[in-house]
Structure 1
Amino acid sequence: MDNKRLFAAIAISIGILLLFDVWQRPAREAQRQAQQQAQQTQTTPVPIPQGNTALNPAGVASTGPSDGAPTTPAPRLRIESPRVQGSVNLRGARLDDLVLRDYRETILPDSPLVRLLAPREDSHPYFAQWGWTASGNVAVPDVNTEWTADAQTLSPGTPVTLRWENGTGQRFEIVLSLDANYMVTAEQRVVNTGTEAVQVLPWARIRRERTPTVAGYYILHEGFVGVLDGRLRETKYADAKSGGERTNGVALDQESPGGWAGFTDKYWLTALAPVDQTQRIRAAYRHVSEGGQDRWQVDFAPPAPLQVAAGATAPFATRLFAGAKEVKLLDSYERGLGIHDFDKAIDFGWFYYITKPFFYALDWLYGLVGNFGIAILIFTLFLKILFFPLANKSYKSMSRMKILAPKMQELKERLKDDPAKMQGEMMALYKAEKINPASGCLPILLQIPVFFALYKVLFVTIEMRQAPFFGWIRDLSAPDPTNLFNLFGLIPFDPPAFFHLPAWALIMGVTMFIQFKLNPAPPDPVQAKLFAFMPIIFTFMLASFPAGLVIYWSWNNLLSVAQQYYIMRHDRAARRSEKAVART
């Protein structure tokens, strides 16, 4: 009974991990190729975009190509801050040039900085824009409108106002301000100096004009994301495209009190949110196909056009987050600005209430030791101490089962023709020796949620991106780059992805082999052979996993071996003492 349960638990664990490996191997290979391409790429000047404006069914401007757009260079408003640099295109009021100063494409020191937003004629156009749609005959700015700015540079603490007048009594203004991180606030105002009331619909949007290469597949969401009407709204690009085909390109149209919505990548986020989180807005996820290209858009607008009386001003204020999904930063925006569930832009997954505390624990330890790899080792030790009483009971039971293995084998051979009696006597033997046959499953079952939660932390949090350990491990979130099949770099040969067997995976395999040797051998020869091959299976399977996860697994195995060895020695000594007392 004990071995069947243990075998089932381990088989389930292997099955889950194998599925993870099958799902993630293409993603990891695509990410590796993207990193190699990025190492060969140098930053180049971005060409000036062109475009015009058409109206989509919701009345929010949708940019498309145009042959009649201006060809002269557009004026630009510089953006300068310690964390970002870029510019706002004053032709069309588009933030379409943004580089993150703290992040590079690869671990190479001269690697290009991460470019998040880019103009329309870039290879991957991606931008935010603010504007109005007319209701009636009032003239509103369009994509070719050239705005005037009252300063040359937008920086933290120095807002800039963009202005444009339509010549019929309405002045349109966009007041842009930037904080010290990644948040832009845009207050759109219509000042009606005319003699009659007008109706206008202000809007803000994020536009993506190429489909990005997603890196996460099944364990990581990339695409549309937001919290609207109190619910997390995630839509993958493929689902938005198929769903939009039935609804004229609208994958989601949601009215909500406050909230936020945008696009999420593995590490980066662009998202819109109303400044007043009690204000009702209408948000939409859209897909259109133009010129054979997929276009993706998230837009915010009031539920109805604004009435602007003569002599009055109509404001509409939104925030734009464009930057790295740093856990503490998103949490600070949630607390300070009231943006509900803003941290859910990070895909912590099913084990959210385990994964996020794990991150904070590791981050706290990192603040003490200055190395995320060391933080993982210390954190694993804390977990071992936390689960010590439970694991101790399990290892004691397993140690006694190993001692009783000869008696159990003798029972099976003697009563092999009477399974019912054999089972009864085995249970009586367990009871007499105070052994719980199911306790051997506990260490593995406890390790599964810890494994997945730590895997998520390593995979989705940008704090782990390009975090070094020691020696050859320069990125804990990436696989160990060494390989046995080229003698760890001594042979100038790059083996195929399947033949990737790095040093840390071999260390993990050895520790697992030692751990399995300390466990009682299954009496079933088939199970015994499978157990013998498990260290090899896990070695190859975890070879392409993030190095930080393999280091965790190896260290956890070593701690388990030490604990189990100590318990076995202590248990043998106690039994010898009991026998000595019994003889006297």
Structure 2
Amino acid sequence: MKPDNTRNTVIFVVCMVAILIGYQVFVLGPQAEKRRAELAAQAPAAEKIAEGDVAVGASATPTGTVFITDRTRALGSAARVPIKNPMVEGSLSLQGGRIDDLYLSTYRETLAKDSPAVELFRPVGMEHAYFAQFGWRGANIAGGVPGPNTVWSLTQGQTLTPTTPVTLTWDNGQGLRFTRVVSIDDQYVFTLKDTVQNLGTQAITLAPYGRVERQGVPETLGKNQILHEGGIGAFGDGEKYVSEQLKYKDWAKKPREDFASTGGWLGITDKYWMAALIPDQAEKIQALFRVTDAAQDIHSAEFLGEPRTVQPGGQIVETQRLFAGAKRNEILSAYEKSLNLPRFIYAIDWGFLFFLTRPIFLLVEFFYGLVGNFGVAILLLTLTIKLIMFPLANKSYESLSKMRKLQPQMEAIKAKHKDEPAKIQQETMALYQREKINPLAGCLPILVQIPVFYALYKVLYVTIEMRHAPFFAWIEDLSARDPTNIWNLFGLIPWDPATAPLIGGLLSGAGSGFTLGLSVLAIFYGFTMWLQTAMNPPAPDPVQRQIFQLMPIVFTFIMAVFPAGLLIYWAWNNILSIAQQYFIMHRFGAENPIDDFIARLKGEKKKAA
């Protein structure tokens, strides 16, 4: 390689590392310090709330928001009905009939043994309040209809369970009586059956509504480009339905978006969890996503049903449902069938490659049913993909083996015409033609692998089945990064690299898309990529050759921040490719680094090409 090319390559690598370190030190570092300072500034206010020095439920402002930090105090403003089934627990407030206190009891926030259950709903008054509410709307109704502050009476039942529904009633004092029977199944669906009786002398007209509201979006949501978080739903005319998504960042730009639909569903989704309103599937509704208070950043998904008239002495009955839980594939699929919900399975963000992501997920789940380990299931999936592409890969590796065997002839051509690049190119292509070699054939397996790689990344990232799924040894969560780090000798030194001044984030990879803290899996992946690159014929151009030699190093650092399951897939894929390529190269008698290494172990001299 020419000295100028070597110098330029070194300068490029040094500049790239300098930029990454500078970004960490001067951008990410100060941002982290600013966040810590903001949290420290909020601490005195939180202490005042706990001591009772600040009025409970003080209104929020953009510059200084005061919230209730004690959940018990937030829950205690009105009587409540406990909620309990095998999947969720919490309570329902008689004020407004809100479902605003809900934990997913089968999921934990972290892998720690003392980790609390995942919180879905949170009562009004706390930061990031999140709840669902149902009711009626009507104009010029004497005595009114039950609203957000109406206190219902519990007239039957004590605890809401799959076998014990509860009944709530409210009388407006002007001839209208509202009765609500709330039930829950053994998973994530609440059913609300509302009855309105007109005991007066005048006909009244009213319409049912449902609302899921989130008061302020947590900082951790809506930041990832590969994942949808925000408004979600499916709307149509009773025959054809279309899925709709509204990311938080777009929601702020479109404070109101309406959809007309017959049935369907809508709600707010996070990565793994969702709250979705499910009207009667024969009901014509007006669905609405909106931001109602820019200061408090209140997002809501709502629907309003058709107006109906209740004659004196008559009554009407309306049934609505709420899904509030984890987006597990088999659960969503079962509800889609049992409740006749259109495209409910697409509450999981399968992405634009859904035709790959869903089959890949189903195949991984099938293998998991056989072996009981998602990591092993990923290995079996990789093996299956390799078997499917075996003929294509064989042709590719045969071409690469022939090219490697022709290296001496190609070097001779370059030596013969060292000052005539056009002549070198002409004779090289003629050599390829005589030997029936396609120099582009080696790229085909890689090109085919790219969409599969992305689809598997999507599956690992968005499906809750992969969340906290262990492999073996230290890999306890396939959807998270490998926790080992080269800077503490993979855990042998009792030190957290994240605590290093200025560059802690860069060493640990926390909160960034790049890290210098290589893990065991990242290093193993890098080794397999280097070995596979070394088995390919070297590029004819010296600069290209240097770039290809650097690629395993660069990709090792890039891939270090990816989920462990993805590194397992790619490293295992490389191992299978190396095995297949070695077999073919050995058969064709092409030089390869594995045979060279074995020869050195035996003390044999390298065979002449």
Q: TM-score, normalised by structure 1?
A: 0.83
Counterpart residue number, 1:433: 435
- Where do 1:174-573 residues align within 5 Å? 174-212=180-218, 213-214=220-221, 216-229=223-236, 230-244=241-255, 250=256, 252-275=257-280, 277-289=281-293, 292-302=295-305, 304-416=306-418, 419-495=421-497, 496=504, 497=509, 498-572=515-589
Deviation at 1:334, TM superposition (A): 1.2
The DSSP-based 3-state class of the residue aligned with 1:360 is: helix
The DSSP-based 3-state class of the residue aligned with 2:132 is: strand
Counterpart residue number, 2:176: 170
| Structure 2 contact 129–216 (Cα < 8 Å) conserved | yes
Q: CA RMSD in A?
A: 2.8
Q: What's the CA shift string for 1:520-570, capped at 9, x where partnerless?
A: 011111111111111111111111110110111111111111110001111
Q: What amino acid is the match of 1:226?
A: G
| Structure 2 contact 222–230 (Cα < 8 Å) conserved | no
| Structure 1 contact 49–119 (Cα < 8 Å) conserved | no
Q: What amino acid is the match of 1:177?
A: S
| Structure 2 contact 109–115 (Cα < 8 Å) conserved | yes
Q: Give, in whole Å, the separation in 2 of the partners of 1:286 and 1:441.
A: 48
- Identity rate of aligned residues, in percent? 49
Q: Give, in whole Å, the separation in 2 of the partners of 1:429 and 1:157.
A: 79
Shifted more, 175-184 versus 187-196: the winner is 187-196
Q: Give, in whole Å, the separation in 1 of the partners of 2:567 and 2:366.
A: 21
Deviation at 1:49, TM superposition (A): 9.0
Shifted more, 152-161 versus 562-571: the winner is 152-161
Q: In structure 2, which of residues 86, 89, 111 is the aligned counterpart of residue 82 of structure 1?
A: 86
Q: Give, in whole Å, the separation in 2 of the partners of 1:211 and 1:536.
A: 38
Deviation at 1:147, TM superposition (A): 1.2
Shifted more, 91-100 versus 314-323: the winner is 314-323
Q: Give, in whole Å, the separation in 2 of the partners of 1:73 and 1:216.
A: 34
| Structure 1 contact 51–144 (Cα < 8 Å) conserved | no
Q: What amino acid is the match of 1:462?
A: I
The DSSP-based 3-state class of the residue aligned with 1:219 is: coil
Q: Which has the higher contact order (CA 8 A, sep 6+)?
A: 1
Counterpart residue number, 2:131: 127
Q: What amino acid is the match of 2:91?
A: S
Q: Give, in whole Å, the separation in 1 of the partners of 2:379 and 2:385.
A: 10
The DSSP-based 3-state class of the residue aligned with 1:445 is: helix
Q: Give, in whole Å, the separation in 1 of the partners of 2:566 and 2:555.
A: 13
Q: Give, in whole Å, the separation in 2 of the partners of 1:372 and 1:378.
A: 10
Judged with a 3 Å threshold, the aligned counterparts in structure 2 of structure 1 residues 507 and 215 are, in CA distance, closer, same or farther, namely farther
| Structure 2 contact 161–183 (Cα < 8 Å) conserved | yes
Gaps of 5+ in 2: 1-22, 40-49, 60-67, 69-73, 498-503, 510-514, 591-609
The DSSP-based 3-state class of the residue aligned with 2:452 is: helix
| Structure 1 contact 135–201 (Cα < 8 Å) conserved | no
| Structure 2 contact 291–297 (Cα < 8 Å) conserved | yes
The DSSP-based 3-state class of the residue aligned with 1:153 is: coil
Deviation at 1:288, TM superposition (A): 2.0
Q: What amino acid is the match of 1:179?
A: D
The DSSP-based 3-state class of the residue aligned with 1:233 is: strand
| Structure 1 contact 258–281 (Cα < 8 Å) conserved | yes
| Structure 1 contact 84–99 (Cα < 8 Å) conserved | yes
Q: Give, in whole Å, the separation in 1 of the partners of 2:147 and 2:292.
A: 19
| Structure 1 contact 135–305 (Cα < 8 Å) conserved | no
Q: Give, in whole Å, the separation in 1 of the partners of 2:95 and 2:209.
A: 17
| Structure 1 contact 49–120 (Cα < 8 Å) conserved | no
| Structure 2 contact 222–249 (Cα < 8 Å) conserved | no
The DSSP-based 3-state class of the residue aligned with 1:523 is: coil
Judged with a 3 Å threshold, the aligned counterparts in structure 2 of structure 1 residues 550 and 224 are, in CA distance, closer, same or farther, namely same
Deviation at 1:301, TM superposition (A): 1.2
Q: What amino acid is the match of 2:301?
A: V
Deviation at 1:367, TM superposition (A): 1.1
Counterpart residue number, 2:158: 152
Q: What amino acid is the match of 1:173?
A: T
Q: How many residues align?
A: 513
Q: What's the CA shift string for 1:84-114, capped at 9, x where partnerless?
A: 1111101110000111111000011210000
Deviation at 1:368, TM superposition (A): 1.0
The DSSP-based 3-state class of the residue aligned with 1:296 is: strand
Deviation at 1:50, TM superposition (A): 6.8
| Structure 1 contact 88–97 (Cα < 8 Å) conserved | yes
Gaps of 5+ in 1: 1-21, 38-44, 53-64, 245-249, 574-584
